Amino acid sequence: MQFEIMRDRLLDGLSDVIKAISHKVTTPILTGIKLEATEKGLTMTGSDSDITISTFIPLEEDGTQIIRMIQPGTLVLQAKVFNEIIRKLPTNEVMIELRDGMKTHIRSGQSEFHIIAQSADEYPILPDVKDAERFELPADLMKSIIRETVFAVSQQETRPVLTGVQWTMKEDELYCIATDSHRLARRIITPEVQASIPFNAVIPGKSLQELSKILPDHSNPVEIFIANQQVLFKLHNVLFYSRLLEGNYPDTSRLIPNEYKTSITVNGRNLLQAIDRASLLAREDRNNIVHFSTDGSSHIQISSNSPDVGNVEELVEAVQIEGEPLKISFSAKYMMDALKAIDGQDLMIHFTGSMRPFILKSIDSEAILQLILPVRTF
């Protein structure tokens, strides 16, 4: 194997692939990146066995020569060392050459590295996504969907299926749902290109977080292939595979109330800042609980206290308050997460009593719903 490549483009590709490399990997070959040099270009693959990322660099891009291919071949190089070497090389021209068995020479300017490679024979093949359901979403919309749901997945491994986000296609709508059983985030989307048949998959939250870092901010389509045990997100020149979580995702539809006793319209940013301040003292007690009440006036009262430190009272002017007066307590963190996910100006909060789950929605759209279970304190 021998080729010359532009360092900056190689670094771009590496920055994607390296996101799949884990420090905790048990299979030694997975500490490496697989390089496949062909007459068409260079493919690099990294994996931690849950996530696999593969990126392709063509010989030429936009009329500029990126790679001069002298001899195709494949090998595996230690990911961390390879990435750092490339990052620190003195010039933009890099020659990579395998000779003398498994010794790989990396030359740039007056700098020459000789790195021991591993054989690509041991490297796992790419996951199988044959017979997958296929649909498309714009990249920036996918980024939003992830941001609006993934924070609500469970951080505990006691129910592994809850560490993922459930993606379900039914009646031409894609439902993305995450819950840790104390709160729930739901996003509904109508994809322009439909999957041929309904599907139901639970994608690990961690995979979606890594994917989000790679997704560009423009609206170019991402192709999504959902197979039996794997999902593939196909971007321009990048393939992102993730395993799917097994197990039955709970039926969350019954959780969501559709009758309300108190409905409040309020500016999301004002409410977020007031909860954030109240949580300064809530946090001191480590339970992170704030109290929320209405008294018939146009204000919401938010308060919290910590016996050792003191207490705080906030008034937030509501746009509208309908229904019964309310006293309720909840986790400041959950409320702040939900408010950040909605990220709009005005939003509605619907309550069904102080011990029942309540929901938050944008006033403009039904697409995002956040649900939070209260805590008994009043």
Under the rule (CB under 8 A), what is the footprint of a copy of itself?
78, 81, 84-85, 88-90, 103-104, 110-116, 273-274, 276-277, 280-281, 284, 308-317
- Rounded least distance, CB 272 to a copy of itself, Å: 11
Q: What is the dihedral of CA 355, 361, 366, 372, to 10 degrees?
A: -40
- Rounded least distance, CB 360 to a copy of itself, Å: 21
- Rounded least distance, CB 193 to a copy of itself, Å: 44
- Rounded least distance, CB 263 to a copy of itself, Å: 22
Name which of 2 and 168 has its Cβ closer to a copy of itself.
2
Nearest to 233 by CA among 61, 14, 19: 19
> What does each C-alpha distance from 166 to 175, 185, 249, 258 come to in angstroms?
8, 10, 7, 22
Q: Which two tokens stand for residue 127?
A: 């996951």
Distance of CA 114 to the CA centre of its chain: 37
> What does each C-alpha distance from 114 to 25, 37, 99, 103 come to in angstroms?
25, 18, 10, 6
Name which of 106 and 232 has its Cβ closer to a copy of itself.
106
Q: Which residues pair with 78 in a beta bridge?
A: 32
Name which of 242 and 288 has its Cβ closer to a copy of itself.
288
- Rounded least distance, CB 220 to a copy of itself, Å: 36
Name which of 231 and 290 has its Cβ closer to a copy of itself.
290
**What CA–CA distance (Å, rounded) separates 306 from 287?**
10
Name which of 195 and 312 has its Cβ closer to a copy of itself.
312
Name which of 116 and 193 has its Cβ closer to a copy of itself.
116
- Rounded least distance, CB 306 to a copy of itself, Å: 9
Name which of 84 and 173 has its Cβ closer to a copy of itself.
84
- Rounded least distance, CB 281 to a copy of itself, Å: 7
Name which of 84 and 172 has its Cβ closer to a copy of itself.
84
- Rounded least distance, CB 235 to a copy of itself, Å: 30
Q: Which residues pair with 175 in a beta bridge?
A: 168, 188
Name which of 102 and 256 has its Cβ closer to a copy of itself.
102
- Rounded least distance, CB 349 to a copy of itself, Å: 18
Burial of 287: CB neighbours in 10 Å, binned 0-12, 13-18, 19+: middle
